A and B are shown apart, each in its own frame.
Chain A
């Protein structure tokens, strides 16, 4: 892996701006939750960032690697299946003047943080700080690096092209699989393990509406996520897939088009169904469009980005409703629908509308193989490790703590001290 100096500088600048997406996610999760746990969700996101960054640098990058770095491979049917990197811990052996390796480590660190932060949306208002940090450590120290090695580190999914003539191999130029689907599936496992918020479902199984406390946070979070996502999609396309820096303009346009068409679709759908557009669902639709565009933003025509966004914008409100109403999954931040479902749609659509350079035919088959791997192997693994973690560090806060709010229970003070108490509209005493 080598980069011309201007591309390396641009890539570095783009990576520096990726944390905007983390701020966006934090604000959205905060606004979609109740005021009694507002500070807790922001602190949780910062804690996830701190834990994931440290653990990733200690061991994560060693197992992730980057294209061309050493790795361990199994031989299956006479072909090499490179499944994990064999680098050294603490970034040892990497020269600080070796731009590609350092840029890959930096991109990987921010990506690991994002993947670990996504489940916070599903566990909001009932997930304690200690298990949040432990889960983030597992994600950044093992799950993300291994999956990222398969996709971004020259691993077996990336090699499907050269080994089995499947397109360019599993393509994910902005982290739809390594960040979004991984984080979204982890969010689903956390939502199952932790259970719904108290008062969310009646004894007949009907869900109660628990509105978010600040829609301005949610909307502004969506805007910040847009900036971060565009930079993430651009940096990964340049660094991992060798796209020319001039593609940044295409990425910016496609990300905007996908987010915009997704938002417009969600606004129209919620307007048609509820007689007025729903602000929180529409903001989630916007992010769903960004997520779906992540798989191939640098390699699809703008018209395709609009199509990808429209489908993502339709998926978000229906999936959120299905999960809540029929499947009994309480996901206050909409993380499962936005990140897992739209991420899978983005990966699938990349096989149809993606125009990857020097690609063999059958790109769609490579994308399906990647999706099957995420659902068939990564998801059960995430569920098992989170369940085991829950045995040692119980995820769920005590009943009283949930009633008080996590701000008061875990942090000792409310985010909004002028609000002396909370009216427990939704909470039976």
Chain B
């Protein structure tokens, strides 16, 4: 889950930056930028879940 989360973070970053290079109109850029950030958010949630303290770390 941790690896998947970090891969999603990187993928979201690529989507966001590629939109600037590839797309000419600002509305299309904005849409893909938001999509990239949304993918990053999903990745962040996965990484957070993967790092919840285990039973051994508690107590």
Binding site for B on A (CB under 8 A): 76-77, 79, 160, 164, 166, 192, 195-196, 199, 201-205, 327-329, 361-362, 365, 368-369, 371-373, 375-377, 379-380, 383, 428
Contact = CB atoms under 8 A, between A and B. Distances in A.
21 contacts: A76-B21, A192-B51, A195-B57, A199-B59, A203-B55, A203-B58, A205-B52, A205-B58, A327-B51, A327-B52, A329-B48, A365-B30, A365-B33, A368-B34, A372-B37, A373-B17, A376-B10, A376-B13, A376-B16, A379-B9, A380-B10
A376 B57 CA distance: 28
Nearest to A371: B37
B37 to A, nearest CB: 6
A400 to B, nearest CB: 17
Contacts of B36: 372, 376
Contacts, number: 87
A359 to B, nearest CB: 14
A368 B53 contact: no
Q: Which DSSP category, helix, strand, loop or mixed, fits chain B's interface?
A: helix
Interface of B: 6, 9-14, 16-17, 20-22, 26, 29-30, 33-34, 36-37, 40, 44, 48, 51-53, 55, 57-59
Contacts of B40: 372, 375-376
A365 B20 CA distance: 9
Given A327-B48, A365-B20, 10 more contacts: A79-B21, A164-B21, A195-B53, A196-B58, A201-B53, A328-B53, A373-B17, A375-B9, A379-B9, A380-B6
Nearest to A204: B58
B17 A202 contact: no
Nearest to A372: B16
A160 B12 CA distance: 18
Contacts of B59: 199, 201-203, 428
Contacts of A368: 16, 33-34, 37
Contacts of B22: 77
Contacts of B16: 368-369, 372-373, 376
B57 A201 contact: yes
A160 B6 CA distance: 25
B44 A383 contact: no
Q: Top 9 closest A-B pairs, CB basis?
A: A376-B13, A372-B16, A201-B58, A328-B53, A203-B59, A77-B21, A192-B51, A328-B52, A380-B6
A383 B20 contact: no
A362 B19 CA distance: 14
Nearest to B44: A375
B10, B40, B51: which has the most chain A beta carbons within 10 Å?
B51
